[in-house]
Each structure stands twice: as C-alpha cells, then as structure tokens.
Amino acid sequence: MINALLKELDAILISSPANIIYLTKNFGFSETEREAFLLITKKNKYIITDKRYSESIHQSKINFKLIDEGAISFLGNGIEEIIKKEKIKTLGIEENNLTVFEYRLLN
C-alpha cells in the first residue's frame, strides 16, 4: 500500500498510533497518545519520537532512521530539513488522524 502511494507522492507522514505500532513492530508506543510519527520517502524511512524510545529503537532491527527531537517539535522545525534535502514536493498525510494544530505546523 505504501509503495503504491509513493508512486504518486514524494513522501507520506504516518501519524496514526495503530499504523505506527504496526509498521515499527511497536516499541511500547501508546495507542492513544501522540508519541511518534513516521516519515516515509522514496529514499528513506524516518521514525520521529523523543529520547525515551531511542535506545530500544537503536537496538532493534527496523530499517528506520531515528530522529529523537520529539514528534510535535519535528513538525514545527525538523521536517523542513528533510523536505529540502529529499526535494519533497508532495506529502501525503493521514487525514483522519492529524490534528488541525499538527497540520498547521506543516504549512
């Protein structure tokens, strides 16, 4: 499904806790709290969370680059660096899960 979406988009921001847990094989993320985002581009996969999960992610075998600056602060600042570096023009979002506040941080 993600590969099909990446044929039309440059990147996808995964915000649903259920989808994050499924794609990362968990790490103890809450199903109800915003503790992480996944940013999947045509070239890389990033997991964005805070330092509480850094050690377990580093020890895991998942193929995600860790950005441990916190999920919300990443939307306000860090995502711009990746968008520029990877020349992302079209970003898909999970419209039923991203809050208005989080969406505004992206703009």
**pLDDT tens digit sequence for 42-51:** 999 999 888 8
Distances (CA, A) of 18 to 43, 75, 92: 23, 19, 17
Give strand ranges (E) for 15-77: 36-41, 45-49, 65-67
Q: What is the pLDDT of residue 13?
A: 94
> Do 82 and 41 form a contact (C-beta atoms < 8 A)?
yes
What single letter denotes the amino acid at residue 25? K
The amino acid that residue 85 corresponds to is K
Q: What is the pLDDT of residues 3-52, one digit of tens each?
A: 888 999 999 999 998 898 889 886 677 777 778 889 999 999 999 888 88
3-state secondary structure at position 40? strand
What would the two tokens of residue 32 be? Answer: 């109800």
* Mean model confidence pLDDT for the chain: 85
How would CATH label the architecture of 2-106? 3-Layer(aba) Sandwich (3.40)
